[in-house]
Every structure is written in structure tokens, then in C-alpha cells.
């Protein structure tokens, strides 16, 4: 069954067209009403001028009312004029063409300009001016509005023709713009569809202009790189785990197969079980370390920690492992740090535990904790077996163990320093090594002391 696939471009054009159409309707309605008001205002002003001029020409400071000329030379045409008495509201003088309609409601109104509909002239504009001297009454000046209406209708017709054309032109322009916007997105979609676990080397070229599309392409490329690094990490992790599990499982299998080949003594079986139990415990400890490694990155909660107090507790807990090795504290400043306590404790434990494991008896381990500028410095220096120069860069990799440390009598899986490195990445810290074979190693941890 084919599902209907909505096209983003069509949706955008539809909503944009709807919005533009509504905007044009609103704009044209407002523009038409403003234009209509402007025309009517001009008519009103012209009628007011006619009314004032009529006072001077028809009623020149006399008690006598004379006939109003039928033709007048004014900006509006034709013009109809009538004079009404104040008492009886009847016409006392008028042009021949003045309308025969009841004027009483308009003469008594507080307004002086009206637009009315008549059978004789259609829509008509009226302007009423009051007379005080030489007689009391009203001058009414009127003109048909068909010329104004014709102009307005002509403008409205042009707007109705031009607006669809304008809408089409705007949508064509929007179509071009949308294509330019969507092309990089289409390229991202194409690359995303082609990407597989076995092919994570595809990167989209960044557009020349730094805009939102540039940010999108850049974010996509970074995501692909992270995926590639993640896949490589998983593959390497699987390879490392397989390698580390292979030895104890091989030992288990070998011992059990030999034990089952023929009847053995009770002591032999007991010894075989002890060997198997040792390897099982080794596997359990390895699994614990691996599980802890995967959980480290989820530790994000922060709090204010007394770093010196935490370090002293870790040292006290590890003293039982030290045997005849001397743990000395060189510097210990009172330091508060806003960070994750679990991660910081993990760093302390792994660094000190390594120093204890790889330092011979009756040798010294020197621990320091102090401030340096805006950083917290934690140092551990031992007199142990040391590390080769070509191995220093690799020792924070998972399951990596130096040649001298690959002794099954020294417990370890090569995960300790990789856990430290991961924890430091989360709390924004760095690790540095100084080492010389058969003389010892100095580990320096630098953590930014951020203010609350």
C-alpha cells in the first residue's frame, strides 16, 4: 500500500500563498477604504467651498432672497444648491435640478456631511451650512457621486486583476528561494540514505554562505563523524573484549577438558576447580570494570565537594593494598570543587591503585593536591616499573597494558586509565604522564576550578 508522501515544498508554497493572499486582501481592503475616504473628503471640502461662496453671491447682506444661478463654475459638477428657511424647513430658493427628497432629518442633524442614495441621482453627497444673517436658515449643496464611484470601481477592477498576477509572481520567486533552501536538505537526505555502518566516510561540502543551512550541514557532518568514531569504538571494544576474554576462557576450557579425559585424583579435581574459580572471578571482575566504564558517561550530577577530604578517604581505603609500600603526602591544600563526586573518586582510586600495583615493596608513592592559578592539581609519583616512551600515548586506551604489566600476578584489565580519561573528559580535566623505565612514573591531573 502506497502511503501519501507530503512534499515540504508544496506545503510551504501553499501556506505562503495563503498568507500572501490574505495579506493582499487585507491590504487592498484597507487601501480601498482609505482611498474612498480620501475621495469623499475631497468632495466634502469642495461642497463646503461652494456653500461659502453661495452665501456671498446669493444672500449679500439683505433681507431679500434672490434666485440662485443655475450654472456655477466649481471644481465638482454637477452641483445642486438649495436654501431652506429655519422655521418651516421649506425651500426658499434652489437650482432647477435640486432633488425632491425630505431634508428635515438632515437639517436637524449635528452632522453637516452625508452620503445618501436617491432614485433620481443614485448616490449623492450632501453638505449643509447654517445661515445666521441676513436670514436664519440652511444652505444645502449636493452633487452626485457617480464620477467618484466610477473612479473607485476602476481602481478596484485594476486591483482585482493585478493582485492575482502579483500573487503568482511572488509565488514564483518563493519557489526559486525555496529550491535554493531545500537543495542542501535534499543533499543531506541523499547522503543519509546512502550511509551505512560500513560506509561512514561521506561528508557533505559546506555551503559558502554561513547561515542556518551551513549550521545544519555542519551539524550533520559532525554527527556522521561521531557515528563513525562510535562505530570504530564499538568495533575496537568488541575486539578488545574478545581478546581479553579469550585467555581466561581458553584456560577454563583446557583445564576442564583435561580433567574429563580420565579419572583423576581428588586433589587434581580440587586444583582444577580452584583454577576455574580463579578464571571465573577474573571474568567477573572484568565484566564489572566494563559495566562501570559504560556507566561513567551518565554521571553528570554536580555538587560542591571537599576535594582534600575525599582524597584522604581514598588513601585510607587503599592503604590495605599498599603492603610494604610507603604512601607519603607531599602537599594537601583545602580545596572545594563543584564537580561530580563519583567521577572524582574514580580518578583518585585508579591513579593511586595503579601506583600501588606497579611499585615494588619498600618504595615510595608521593601524593600531592594543590591549586595552581585557576586549576586543581592532583599528582601521584611512584618509584615503580615505569613506562616506555612509545607506550605512554597508548596507556589510556581500553584494555591496553604495557609489556611489563602483563603479568597475571598483577591484577588489572587495562581499563583503569581509560576510565580515568573518560571521567576527565566529562569534568573537563586533563592527564599528563612523566615516566622512566625502572625508575618510576609521575601522573599529573589538571581540573578546571570553575566558580559557581
Domain boundaries, the chain: 8-152, 195-296, 300-448
Per-residue pLDDT reduced to its tens digit, 195-209: 766 667 777 777 777
Instruction: With cut-offs at 50, 70 and 90, classify the pLDDT of residue 249.
Output: confident
Residue 31 pLDDT exceeds 90: yes
- What angle is formed at CA 202 by the lines to CA 200 and CA 208, rounded to 5 degrees? 145
The C-alpha cell 611499585 sits at 359
Separation CA 138–CA 128 (nearest Å): 7
Separation CA 254–CA 267 (nearest Å): 17
Kindly list the distances between the CA atom of residue 10 and the CA atoms of 2, 16, 145, 427, in Å, as whole numbers in the listed order.
19, 10, 46, 47
Per-residue pLDDT reduced to its tens digit, 67-96: 555 555 556 778 888 888 888 888 888 887
Specify the fold of 8-152: Beta-Lactamase (3.30.450)
Per-residue pLDDT at 3: 47
- Do 300-448 and 8-152 fall under one CATH topology? no
Residue 276 pLDDT exceeds 50: yes
Q: What is the mean pLDDT of the chain?
A: 80
Higher confidence at residue 447 or residue 394? 447
Top-level class of domain 300-448: alpha beta
Per-residue pLDDT at 311: 92
Element (H, E) at 401: none
Instruction: With cut-offs at 50, 70 and 90, classify the pLDDT of residue 312.
Output: very high
Q: Which residues pair with 339 in a beta bridge?
A: 303
Sheet holding 137-144, edge to edge: 91-94, 80-85, 137-144, 122-131, 113-118
Per-residue pLDDT at 349: 85
Contacts by 385-390, CB closer than 8 A, 24 or more apart: 385/358, 385/359, 385/360, 385/437, 385/438, 386/435, 386/436, 386/437, 386/438, 386/439, 386/440, 386/441, 387/433, 387/435, 387/437, 387/441, 388/437, 389/435
pLDDT above 70 covers a percentage of the chain that reads: 81
Amino acid at each position: 500500500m502506497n502511503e501519501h508522501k507530503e512534499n515540504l515544498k508544496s506545503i510551504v508554497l501553499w501556506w505562503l500563498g495563503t498568507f500572501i493572499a490574505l495579506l493582499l486582501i487585507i491590504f487592498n481592503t484597507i487601501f480601498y477604504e482609505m482611498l474612498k475616504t480620501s475621495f469623499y473628503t475631497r468632495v466634502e471640502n469642495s461642497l463646503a467651498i461652494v456653500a461659502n461662496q453661495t452665501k456671498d453671491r446669493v444672500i449679500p447682506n439683505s433681507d431679500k432672497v434672490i434666485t440662485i444661478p443655475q450654472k456655477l463654475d466649481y471644481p465638482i459638477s454637477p452641483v445642486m444648491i438649495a436654501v431652506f428657511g429655519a422655521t418651516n424647513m421649506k425651500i426658499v430658493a434652489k437650482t432647477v435640478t435640486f432633488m425632491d427628497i425630505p431634508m428635515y432629518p438632515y437639517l436637524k442633524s449635528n452632522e453637516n456631511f452625508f452620503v445618501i442614495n436617491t432614485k433620481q441621482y443614485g448616490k449623492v453627497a450632501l453638505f449643509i451650512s447654517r445661515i445666521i444673517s441676513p436670514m436664519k436658515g440652511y444652505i444645502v449643496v449636493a452633487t452626485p457621486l457617480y464620477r467618484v464611484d466610477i473612479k473607485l470601481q476602476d481602481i478596484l477592477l485594476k486591483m482585482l486583476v493585478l493582485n492575482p498576477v502579483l500573487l503568482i509572481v511572488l509565488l514564483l520567486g518563493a519557489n526559486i528561494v525555496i529550491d535554493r533552501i531545500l537543495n542542501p536538505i535534499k543533499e543531506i537526505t541523499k547522503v543519509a540514505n546512502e550511509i551505512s555502518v560500513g560506509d561512514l566516510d561521506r561528508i557533505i561540502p559546506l555551503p559558502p554562505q554561513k547561515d542556518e543551512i551551513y549550521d545544519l550541514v555542519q551539524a550533520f557532518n559532525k554527527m556522521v563523524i561521531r557515528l563513525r568514531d562510535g562505530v570504530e569504538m564499538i568495533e575496537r571494544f568488541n575486539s578488545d573484549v574478545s581478546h581479553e576474554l579469550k585467555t581466561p576462557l581458553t584456560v577454563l576450557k583446557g583445564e576442564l577438558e583435561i580433567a574429563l579425559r580420565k579419572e583423576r585424583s581428588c586433589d587434581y579435581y580440587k586444583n582444577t576447580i580452584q583454577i576455574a574459580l580463579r578464571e571465573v572471578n577474573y571474568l567477573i571482575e572484568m565484566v564489572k570494570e566494563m559495566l562501570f566504564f559504560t556507566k561513567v558517561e551518565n554521571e553528570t550530577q554536580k555538587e560542591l565537594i571537599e576535594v582534600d577530604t575525599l582524597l584522604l578517604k581514598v588513601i585510607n581505603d587503599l592503604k590495605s593494598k599498599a603492603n610494604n609500600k610507603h604512601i607519603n603526602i607531599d602537599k594537601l591544600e583545602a580545596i572545594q570543587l563543584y564537580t561530580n563526586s563519583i567521577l572524582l573518586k574514580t580518578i583518585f582510586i585508579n591513579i593511586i591503585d595503579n601506583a600501588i600495583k606497579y611499585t615494588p615493596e619498600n618504595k615510595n608513592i608521593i601524593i600531592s593536591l594543590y591549586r595552581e592559578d585557576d586549576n586543581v592539581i592532583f599528582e601521584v609519583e611512584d618509584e615503580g616499573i615505569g613506562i616506555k616512551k612509545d607506550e605512554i600515548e597508548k596507556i589510556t586506551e581500553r584494555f591496553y597494558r604495557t609489556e611489563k604489566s602483563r603479568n597475571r600476578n598483577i591484577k588489572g584489565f587495562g581499563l583503569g586509565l581509560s576510565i580515568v580519561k573518560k571521567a576527565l573528559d566529562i569534568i573537563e580535566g586533563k592527564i599528563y604522564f612523566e615516566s622512566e623505565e625502572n625508575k618510576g612514573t609521575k601522573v599529573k591531573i589538571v581540573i578546571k576550578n570553575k566558580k559557581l
